[in-house]
Amino acid sequence: MEALDDFDRKILVALQRDGRLTSQQLADATALSASQCARRRRRLEKLGVIKSYRANLSKRKVGLGVSAFVQVSLNNHGQPEIEAFARLLEVNPSILDACKLTGPTDYLLRVATADLDELNRLISEVLLPHPSVSHLQTHIVLEWLKEEGVLPVG
């Protein structure tokens, strides 16, 4: 991994707050020229430091009123079972994020559904019937105190 300098970090912080910034707006924020900012942005994209650009949508305003975290434990940790479970995660759009963990829980899933009925279907008809799943525990989000934080690269 190529080292990031202070200017790269300033560009990354600014783009995390607003990915639509022009090179001139980045120049204003970093004290570099617009052309230098454009070159640095392309380099950061090519290196994979900047993975993509996307709109940050309001879950509620697009009809996803329930957010939850689901802890999943597997009963079998063989490679075929893990791969099958990973495929299940990939094809289900309600599962936003999935992390493999240490400790008694194998995976932590962040999910968003329209309502509790849809969350129940996800748990009862998709996750629990999977042959590798031993048990799960669901935590429904009552209120987001901090969401979609900016990575501390500055």
Task: Give 59-114 as a DSSP string.
Answer: TGGGT--EEEEEEEEES---HHHHHHHHHHHHH-TTEEEEEE-SSS-SEEEEEEES
Task: Please tell me the distance from the alpha carbon of residue 120 to that of residue 127, in angstroms, as a whole number.
Answer: 10
**How high is the pLDDT of residue 76?**
86
pLDDT at 150: 81
Confidence of residue 148 (pLDDT cuts 50, 70, 90): confident
Domain limits of the chain?
6-46, 60-140
Does the pLDDT at position 151 exceed 90?
no
The pTM is what?
Answer: 0.86
Query: What is the pLDDT confidence band of residue 141, given thresholds at 50, 70 and 90?
Result: very high
Is pLDDT at 28 greater than 90 in this prediction? yes
Q: Select the CATH number that applies to the domain covering 6-46 from these four: 3.30.1490.20, 3.50.50.60, 1.10.10.10, 3.60.15.10.
A: 1.10.10.10
Q: What does the alpha-carbon distance between residue 39 and residue 56 come to, in Å, rounded to a whole number?
A: 25
pLDDT at 88 > cutoff 90? yes
- The reply to whether domains 6-46 and 60-140 share a CATH topology is no
Q: Which residue has the higher pLDDT, 1 or 64?
A: 64
Q: Which of 30, 33, 28, 24 is nearest to 12 (CA)?
A: 30
Contact 136, 104 (CB under 8 A): no
DSSP code at position 127? I
CA distance 128 to 138: 12
The answer to whether the CB of 126 falls within 8 A of the CB of 72 is: no
Topology of domain 60-140, per CATH? Alpha-Beta Plaits (3.30.70)
pLDDT in tens, 89-122: 999 999 999 999 999 999 999 999 999 999 999 9
